[in-house]
Amino acid sequence: MNEQFYDLPQEKQMRIINAGLEVFSKNDYKHAVTDEIARKAGISKGLLFYYFHNKKSLYLYLFDYCAKLIMNQVMGSDGEADAEACSKHDFTGVF
């Protein structure tokens, strides 16, 4: 992934993230179309590939993004997991 993605305004980052999540959630990896992701995000396909060099890079970024969201929900406010929490390694091992 191109680090300049993080320089984008938060709203634009979220448009790209949400578009990717929507398309990948409705299709398996093979059938998820980057043209559709770019269209839903309101950007060109070229710009999508500027930020994420290929479909796999975007997919892996979104996977990590979701894993972090889930882990943040599992962790308590003090940063320690509760008794039922699993490690990120355990979580990603399921996939």
Instruction: Write the pLDDT tens digit of every residue in 15-48.
Output: 999 999 999 999 999 999 999 999 999 999 999 9
pTM over 0.85? The answer is no
Domains and CATH numbers, the chain: 3-94 (1.10.357.10)
User: Per-residue pLDDT tens for 42-56?
Assistant: 999 999 999 999 999
Q: Using CA atoms, how far apart are residues 70 and 64, in angstroms rounded to an integer?
A: 10
Taken in order 93, 66, 57, 32, the sign of the CA dihedral is: positive
With b meaning 16 or more CB within 10 Å and e meaning fewer, what string describes 52-76? beebeebeebbeeeeeeeebeeeee
